[in-house]
Amino acid sequence: MSTKIIYDDSIDVELIKSKKVSVIGFGSQGHAHSLNLHDSGVDITVGLRKESNSFERAKKMGLKVDTLENATKQADVVMLLLPDQLMADVYEKDIAPHMKDNATLFFAHGFNIHFGEIIPREDISIAMIAPKGPGHLLRRTYEEGSGMPCLVAVEKDLNGNTKDLALSYASAIGGGRAGVLNTTFKEETETDLFGEQVVLCGGLTELIRNGFETLVEAGYQPESAYFETLHEVKLIVDLMYEGGFEWMRHSISDTAEYGDFSRGSRIITNETKKEMKKVLEEIQSGAFAKEWMSQAREGSPYLKQEREKASKHQLENIGKELRDMMPFLNAKDIKKDIWVQTN
């Protein structure tokens, strides 16, 4: 394999410690970055609106917190960790006017730079540090002494050390323990969106839902259908995570493996792959980004409608009942639990 994975022993973590860093946002990624940076000895301030519910919460976690304006003014490095659809407006109104000359702007996802939603000043260096997982896992793995792989990309290097600074940041949030991979804003953005839409979120949930409905419509118990189409997904994915398809197939029965090879291609067909290519083309052309940002500016009516519809599906209801009977799962309820899971 020609791709080089970079680890802590090749990174100067002291570089980021010599800078004043401000993290803008305190959501899933924001709280994890902030706490990991803080625990690594970085001079970090969380930038939030004064009225934000997270303002006092971040303070109680032992972090320095200030307004967006003040946090930005003092920072050598600003990391933007806001939802894609909100980031450009916040940047233009509250961040851009207050950035230091020759400061560095970091992102954890390339969306707003790649699709031209944010165009920083000419004197600003731009890089990305993208952990490959959700924020609460970034925090958990850091606390456990391991870490989460990260992608690093440099869009503009005016200081001559932007890549080294990005690597240092990645190390401070735990990325260097697991490995850091070089990429580009284009590659990260397009592959990330494709993975979410076709496999990890869109593809997987549609596969599970349709499998569940097929069994229930054929007269099988919803509980059995849930176990066979959703609950066991994690068990199979864990095996693939540990050793790829080969290890998973080694671990299942011969009957299951035969069914895998002989029936799987009837579900994911050549027509399915053609549709995958269409989705990728929509991402590459910017059509998806344009559609999503237009929706977001209208208040995300489609997203709200689909969330409401999905929440009422039998799969969700039976799943909640079954998970409540499994205390070992530490089951989550969207109406009660929030993203912050620091313990």
Tokens matching residue 240: 């693939």
Where do the domains of the chain lie? 5-183, 193-329
From the list 109, 114, 136, 250, the catalytic residue is 109
Hey, is 65 helix, strand or coil?
strand
For 176, residues 6+ apart whose C-beta sits below 8 A from its C-beta are 6, 7, 8, 11, 13, 147, 150, 167, 170
Give pLDDT tens digits along the chain (343 positions).
Answer: 457 899 999 999 999 999 999 999 999 999 999 999 999 999 999 999 999 999 999 999 999 999 999 999 999 999 999 999 999 999 999 999 999 999 999 999 999 999 999 999 999 999 999 999 999 999 999 999 999 999 999 999 998 999 999 999 999 999 999 999 999 999 999 999 999 999 999 999 999 999 999 999 999 999 999 999 999 999 999 999 999 999 999 999 999 999 999 999 999 999 999 999 999 999 999 999 999 999 999 999 999 999 999 999 999 999 999 998 888 777 787 777 665 433 2
Going by their DSSP bridges, the two strands 104-107 and 125-131 should be labelled as parallel
* Cβ contact 26:46 at 8 Å: yes
Give the CATH fold of the 193-329 domain.
N-(1-d-carboxylethyl)-l-norvaline Dehydrogenase; domain 2 (1.10.1040)
| Alpha-carbon gap, residue 265 to 250, rounded angstroms | 19
Active site residue 109: yes
Cα–Cα distance for residue pair 274/268, rounded to 1 Å: 10
pLDDT digits over 271-329, tens only? 999 999 999 999 999 999 999 999 999 999 999 999 999 999 999 999 999 998 888 77
Do residues 27 and 196 touch, judged by C-beta distance below 8 A? no
- Which CATH topology does 5-183 take? Rossmann fold (3.40.50)
**What's the CA gap between 250 and 252, in Å, rounded?**
6
